[in-house]
A and B are shown apart, each in its own frame.
Chain A
Amino acid sequence: NAGVTQTPKFRILKIGQSMTLQCTQDMNHNYMYWYRQDPGMGLKLIYYSVGAGITDKGEVPNGYNVSRSTTEDFPLRLELAAPSQTSVYFCASRPEGMSTEAFFGQGTRLTVV
């Protein structure tokens, strides 16, 4: 029962490098989300998707891109990494419905140096 799987768990990037954070879920959920968590700042929504082919910006989308070509996968792309993007990134998914629970991955800890 995998749930939401994020890879990698840890990564160190140099300024200006690019990378893709992977997220996949096996629960056939339509809704998927990317959050970043900074100490004392809670979770900020970066991007979300309500289904394959549909994505939308959240609160802090600058410096990131996403795609949703399948229901299962929702990768987050950093094109030109900056120190301000050092954070813990969480992917989440949930089915449609008003009261439904969001399921979170274990997180990706990214450091940009």
Chain B
Amino acid sequence: GEDVEQSLFLSVREGDSSVINCTYTDSSSTYLYWYKQEPGAGLQLLTYIFSNMDMKQDQRLTVLLNKKDKHLSLRIADTQTGDSAIYFCAEKAGTALIFGKGTTLSVSS
């Protein structure tokens, strides 16, 4: 079945780059997503990538996809304290989204 794995915590200093990694198991996934959850709030879509792409850049965000290894990463350049949140990787499985456990990003000044 589908399973999405992420490391649980990442701590960086303000101004550094953050890289959050994710592995997924369903090779038929056509879209992969990154969602952000701030404390006490729901999830908001940050970005997504189609499975025939290797990379997608959107301002400070860079998504890399290695389809052979089923590995997805999210790089946040010039990380700010406002980036502190939980980041979820998700893959589309049929009509539903399957989420990873989430990576808590802590940014210190």
Residues of A within 8 A of B10 (CB): none
Contact of A90 among B4, B42, B48, B102 (CB under 8 A): B42
Chain B contacts of A41 at CB under 8 A? 101
Q: Are B92 and A98 in contact (CB under 8 A)?
A: yes
The answer on a CB contact under 8 Å between A99 and B48 is yes
**Contact yes or no, A42 B95, CB < 8 A:** no
8 Å CB contact of B30 from A4, A33, A58, A98: A98
CB-nearest residue of chain B to A43: B99
The CA of A92 and the CA of B92, in the complex, are separated in Å by 14
Residue from A50, A98, A101 in contact with B45 in the complex, judged by beta carbons closer than 8 Å: A101
Q: Give CA–CA (A31, B94) in the complex, Å.
A: 12
- Can you name the residue of chain A whose Cβ is closest to the Cβ of B104? A40
* CB of B55 within 8 Å of the partner chain: no
| Interface residue range, chain B | 20 to 34
- B contact face: mostly helix, strand, loop, or mixed: strand
Residues of A within 8 A of B92 (CB): 98
Q: Which of B23-62 contact A (CB under 8 A)?
A: 30-31, 40-45, 48, 50
CB of A66 to closest CB in B, whole Å: 14
CB closest chain-B residue, reference A47: B96
Residues of chain B contacted by A31 (CB below 8 angstroms): 95
CB-based contact B96/A48 at 8 Å: yes
Are A45 and B31 in touch, CB under 8 angstroms? no
User: Chain A residues near B30 (CB, 8 Å)?
Assistant: 98
Instruction: Report A-chain residues with C-beta under 8 Å of the C-beta of B88.
Output: 42-43
Query: How far apart sit A99 and B88, CA to CA, in the bound complex (Å)?
Result: 17
Would you list the 8 A-B pairs with minimal beta carbon distance, nearest first?
A104-B42, A42-B101, A43-B99, A101-B45, A104-B43, A42-B99, A106-B42, A42-B102
Interfacial residues, chain A to chain B (CB-CB below 8 A): 4, 31, 33, 35, 40-43, 45, 48, 50, 58, 90, 92, 98-99, 101-102, 104-107
